[in-house]
Amino acid sequence: MTDRFADRAAADDAADPLAHLRDQFLLPDGLVYLDGNSLGALPRAVPGVVADVVSRQWGTELIGSWTDAGWWEAPGRVGDAIAPIIGAAPGTVVVADSTSVNLFKAVIAAARLMTDRPERNTIVVDDATFPTDRYMVDEAARLLGLRVRAAAPDDATALDDSVALAVYCHVDFRTGVLYDLPAVTARVHAAGALAIWDLCHSAGAVPVGLAEHDVDLAVGCTYKYLNGGPGAPAFVYVAPRHQGGIDSPLPGWHSHAQPFEMSQQFTPVDGIDRMRTGTPPLLSLLAMEAALAPWQDLDIADVRARSLQLTGLMIDFVHSELGGRVEVVTPVEPAGRGSQVSLRHPDAYPIVRALIARGVVGDFRAPDVIRLGFAPLYVSRQDVVSAGRHLQQVLDSGEYLAPEFAARSTVT
């Protein structure tokens, strides 16, 4: 039997100018990996660099590597390498800590930029945000004596004149909804507040345009679409106009103007390095730097086009072949979605487990979402159709009802 989806996918993959990028990743043969929105695949360039960092930079050169291998400057250097991917200028992005910690620093630093406006006593936070973001905003507000108001990024009514800052996710991690960052940022500014964006699910998949759209501060992960590796440190962005006023709640010796004077007095360094804290995790940081190799000469607009072709194909497949047995949660209109397709089914968890047993790796998000991420650098259209056919067979056969797929593992 001919499979018109598979035939078309094979032809389109063969004609795709970005198809060669997959060769820059080490993926197990036959695996359909649709979880690059949670942990990106391993770039081919990484193992050799990590081996060199461990055996030569650490093993042989030892402490001299802080200077000779550029360890001290690495957070800013890697930040500058990420900057074009998120539309930021050199000197506005630094890699440090985790997204959770960076968001805490960003929220408090932004609130401190507003201390001359004491009537603005409210932080608006995305009401569907990733939980860690909410915990950090709540805690920052508690320390600062501010109130928290939860609202969707597209809820303009939340932005009254009590708002000091708004913290939103560019792409909703559960549904894959992409918010209109330019319009929302403009609305936050029109309301007299600052806009902080979490780019975890857009950096490396969707054009962001931080500078062009006047974003105030932003944070994001590097281990999702940027493929930096498990536990890779996160990035933080501060617009040039705010850098002089940044007062971090976690000043450390790496954000000091003269770190080796070992002064008891904190004097902040100028520039984006002020968002650093202490010693970075260099093995992870330098692995992350190597992981950016596929981005050489790559335009995020082309990456976005490919991402939309992949997610669009998945949505078409579901509508055409799965006959309403799963609900497409992610917006069908391209402008409204990130690089994932979320499908709703009451048995989402065992279905995800059954797919993994077949070599199709997606993930589950409570309570009922099958989440399929389409990392545009290495997922092919043939992967999309293969995942769709496996999903169809899992649903047809009822194999997901087998008892071994019912028990929840620690990480879903």
Ligand X SMILES: *Cc1c(COP(=O)(O)O)cnc(C)c1O
Which residues make up the interface to ligand X (CB under 6 A)? 98-100, 130, 132-133, 169, 173, 198, 200-201, 221, 234
CB of 210 or CB of 394, closer to ligand X: 210
Phi, psi of 126 (to 5 degrees): -50, 125
The residue among 268, 201, 255, 228 whose CA lies nearest residue 76 is: 255
From residue 210, alpha-carbon distances to 63, 170, 215, 237, 241 in Å are 36, 11, 5, 9, 13
Q: Which two tokens stand for residue 220?
A: 């994001």
Cβ-based burial of 68 (10 A; exposed 0-12, middle 13-18, buried ≥19): exposed
Which residue shows structure tokens 């992960």?
221
Q: Which is nearer to ligand X, 99 or 227 (CB)?
A: 99
Query: Tokens 């390095």 correspond to what residue?
Result: 273
Q: Which residue has the tokens 């949660």?
A: 329
State how far the Cα of 355 lies from the Cα of 387, in Å rounded to an integer.
8
Residue with tokens 């894959």: 176
Which amino acid is it at 230? P
Nearest distance from C-beta of residue 36 to ligand X, angstroms: 12
Helix then strand then coil, % of the chain, to nearest 5: 45, 15, 40
Among candidate residues 224, 274, 337, 353, the one labeled active-site is 224
Q: Which of 80, 198, 347, 368 is catalytic?
A: 198
Catalytic annotation present for 130: yes
98 vs 227, beta carbon nearer ligand X: 98
C-alpha 317/C-alpha 310 separation (Å) is 11
Tell me whether residue 100 or residue 382 sits nearer to ligand X (CB atom). 100
- The nearer residue to ligand X, 58 or 135, going by C-beta atoms, is 135
For residue 10, how far is the Cα from the chain centroid? 29
CB nearer ligand X, residue 287 or residue 395: 287
The torsion angles phi and psi of 39, rounded to 5 degrees, stand at: -140, 110
Shortest distance in whole angstroms from residue 236 CB to ligand X: 12
- Least distance between ligand X and beta carbon 262 (Å): 30
CB 73 within 8 A of CB 271: no
- Please indicate whether residue 225 is annotated as part of the active site: no
Q: Estimate to the nearest angstrom the gap between the alpha carbon of 258 and the chain centroid.
A: 32
> Could you confirm whether 371 is annotated as catalytic?
yes
Is 224 an active-site residue? yes
CB of 220 vs ligand X, minimal distance in Å = 8
3-state secondary structure of 245: coil
DSSP element (H, E) containing 170: none
Alpha carbons 191 and 174: distance in angstroms, whole number:
28
Which residues make Cβ contacts (< 8 Å) with residue 390, sequence separation at least 6? 32, 355, 358, 359, 360
In the annotation, is 105 catalytic? no
> Catalytic residue numbers?
130, 198, 223-224, 371
